[in-house]
């Protein structure tokens, strides 16, 4: 429907923005990047556009460009947990783990922080070898059974050889799989880089 509407009004900024955000959710990263960049260039300042563009850039490995977009989004929506989470993951993929940890801790303290934010913090802590704290963080975000499965996965991550870095896990996981996508008893990857949350629109 949005694509059909765009044919009649190709320069309509709200339609362009929504097409870009939907493309991001569907994993069409090139399309999302193009639409969101055009919307950012032509439209009024909108944190959702900059955060979404940052997510698309980060998911295709353009971390520095992504971080610029996330910074712009934070100027428009200070301390928004979704932006902080995504900027932190971009830092992590860029090898800046200390900065990533600080932002994830900050995002996790928000009353409206998503469960994935605490899971991301737990994963980062596990990768840094802080397994006890990682387990405690996971326990605050998940039901007991899931937390135990997560703890087993995180322990495996922490004891894995050096190549099992946060960058390798993120790339292998497509930066999209969340805890909700795991099978029963599967303590699989929880690293998630997503677009603006619907509740924040």
Residue 41 and residue 112 in one domain: no
What is the C-alpha radius of gyration for the chain, rounded to an integer number of angstroms? 17
Domain hosting 42: range is 1-77
Distance CA 27, CA 55 (A): 11
Residue 73 and residue 88 in one domain: no
Give residue 77's pLDDT: 94
Give residue 199's pLDDT: 40
Give residue 47's pLDDT: 95
Domain boundary among 77, 112, 127: 77
Domain boundary among 16, 50, 77: 77
Joined together, the tokens standing for residue 54 give 């940052």
Q: Which whole number is the average pLDDT over 43-63?
A: 92
Residue 83 and residue 72 in one domain: no
- The interaxial angle of helices 115-127 and 97-108, nearest 10 deg, is 150
Give residue 11's pLDDT: 65
Counting Cα atoms < 13 Å in the Cβ hemisphere of 165 gives 12
Which pLDDT tens digit goes with each residue over 91-148?
A: 988 889 999 999 999 999 888 778 888 888 988 888 888 888 888 888 887 777 776 7
Residue with tokens 């783990």: 97
Question: pLDDT-based confidence at 78, cuts 50/70/90?
Answer: very high
- Total domains present in the chain: 2
Question: pLDDT-based confidence at 154, cuts 50/70/90?
Answer: low
Give residue 104's pLDDT: 94
Residue 95 and residue 192 in one domain: yes
Q: Is the pTM of this model over 0.75?
A: no
Domain boundary among 77, 108, 132: 77
Distance CA 81, CA 60 (A): 22
CATH number for the domain that contains residue 30: 1.25.40.10
Q: Which whole number is the average pLDDT over 61-67?
A: 93
- Over pLDDT 70: what percentage of the chain? 67
Residue 16 and residue 87 in one domain: no
């Amino acid at each position: 429907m949005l694509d059909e509407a765009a044919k009649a009004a190709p320069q309509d900024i709200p339609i362009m923005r929504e097409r870009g955000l939907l493309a991001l959710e569907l994993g069409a990263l090139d399309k999302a990047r193009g639409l969101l960049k055009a919307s950012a260039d032509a439209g009024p300042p909108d944190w959702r556009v900059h955060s979404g563009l940052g997510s698309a850039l980060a998911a295709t490995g353009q971390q520095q460009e992504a971080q610029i977009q996330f910074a712009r989004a934070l100027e428009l929506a200070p301390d928004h947990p979704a932006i902080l989470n995504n900027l932190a993951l971009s830092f992590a993929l860029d090898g800046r783990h200390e900065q990533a940890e600080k932002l994830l801790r900050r995002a996790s303290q928000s009353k409206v922080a998503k469960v994935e934010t605490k899971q991301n913090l737990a994963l980062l802590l596990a990768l840094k070898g802080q397994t006890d704290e990682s387990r405690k963080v996971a326990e605050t975000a998940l039901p007991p059974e899931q937390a135990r499965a997560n703890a087993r996965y995180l322990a495996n991550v922490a004891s894995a050889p050096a190549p099992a870095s946060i960058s390798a896990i993120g790339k292998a996981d497509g930066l999209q799989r969340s805890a909700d996508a795991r099978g029963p008893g599967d303590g699989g990857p929880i690293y998630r880089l997503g677009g603006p949350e619907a509740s924040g629109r």
